[in-house]
Amino acid sequence: MFEILERQDMADGTVVLNEISAPLIAEKAEPGQFVILKANETGERIPLTMADTDPNKGTITIIYQIVGKSTALFKSLQVGERFQDVIGPLGEPTHIEKLGTVVCVGGGTGVAVLHPITRGMKEIGNHVIAIIGARNKDLLILEDKMKAASNELHVCTDDGSYGHHGFVTDVLKDVLEEEDVKLVVAIGPVPMMKFVCSVTEKYKVKTFVSLNPIMVDGTGMCGCCRVSVGGKTRFACIDGPEFDGHEVDFDELMQRLQAYKEQESVAYEKFLHE
């Protein structure tokens, strides 16, 4: 189990795609749910929201950015090698329903998670406008797939090397001005989700975000992934990972993501050195 059947470098090697054999999870998983992966005996448990599943093949797909030792270790695994442990599907699935016009906003590797949600939203009969962004053209992922999954696709780069020169929020504002948007789904780096929510709040458009706090077990047992939503503490692993973005305390989430910054760089340096 958990053999890597396909592996692909993306975004200039900063992002990796793995298609992993996990039939039990593939059969059960729905868009928006996540898995926890552990590469080997000494490895850390890393939560990643699934980018795709294929119940017929019995596979799940994850797409992750290399940010530290654990993801670098994942990257080193080749086709035919295995993750020691994969646990899932965890978390609540995205509530996909027919609403009218839905905007899906993605940044960085968040686009990977957004893709099955976008596809689901379109399949159920929504008019889906997708807006995806990256720092530059080379770091952009899944443009073709997002094009196919949506009715309209807008691409933005921070440096203007491709598509709209600017942030996803610029395009989002224009769309919100022109269209009767019923729902926005925003998945990406925390600052991006925070800015998207401050824009949609002005337009009073309901916005879902998918949160990625640090986790250990992913089953509600430890409380590591606690986030403040509407002034209440919620566990992203069992209550989320999706929440009403207008209620999320993004600043707290950003701070909590820094909890192990020092240890993370020690581990990564050591890994690169070895």
Partner 1 sequence: MTEKPPKKEKIPRQPMPEQDSQIRKRNFEEVPLGYTKELAVKEAERCLQCKKPSCMEGCPVSIDIPGFIKSIKKGDFAKAVRKIWERNALPAVCGRVCPQEIQCEGKCILGKKGDPVAIGNLEKFVADMEREHGNGELPPKSDPTGKRVAVVGSGPSGLTVAGDLILKGHEVTIFEAFHKPGGVLVYGIPEFRLPKEIVYSEVNTLEKLGVKVECNTVVGKTVSLDELFEQGYDAIYVGVGAGLPRFLDIPGENLIGIYSANEYLTRANLMKAYLFPEYDTPLARGKDVVVFGAGNVAMDSARTAMRLGADRVRIVYRRSRDEMPARSAEIHHAEEEGIEFFLLTAPTRFLGDKNARLTDVECLRMKLGEPDESGRRRPIPIEGSEFKLECDLAVIAVGAGANPLLTKSTEDLKINKWGYIVADPETGKTIKKGVWAGGDIVTGQATVILAMGAGRKASDSIHQYLAWGW
Give the binding site for partner 1 (CB under 8 A): 24-25, 28, 38, 42-45, 69-70, 73, 84-90, 216-217, 219-224, 226, 228, 233, 238, 252, 255-256, 258-260, 263-264, 266-267, 270
Residue 156 CB, nearest distance to partner 1 (Å)?
31
Assign 3-class secondary structure to 8-64: EEEHHHCEEEEEEECHHHHHHCCCCCEEEEECCCCCCCEEEECCEEECCCCEEEEEE
Task: Work out how close the CB of 219 gets to partner 1 at its nearest, in angstroms, rounded to a whole number.
Answer: 6
Quote the least distance from Cβ 113 to partner 1, whole Å: 18
**Comparing C-alpha atoms, which of 123, 83, 82 is closest to residue 102?**
123
Of 43 and 189, CB closest to partner 1:
43
From the number of C-beta atoms within 10 Å of its C-beta (0-12, 13-18, 19+), residue 40 rates as exposed
Residue 48 CB, nearest distance to partner 1 (Å)?
15
CB-nearer residue toward partner 1: 99 or 267: 267
Coil/strand/helix, residue 7 = strand
Minimum distance of partner 1 from residue 226's CB (angstroms):
6
Nearest Cα to 193, choosing from 210, 214, 216, 218?
210
Backbone angles phi, psi at 114, to 5 degrees: -70, -30
Nearer to partner 1 (CB atom), residue 5 or residue 257: 257
Among 94, 65, 185, which Cα is nearest to 131's?
A: 185
The residue (of 99 and 224) whose beta carbon lies closer to partner 1 is: 224
Q: Which is nearer to partner 1, 124 or 222 (CB)?
A: 222
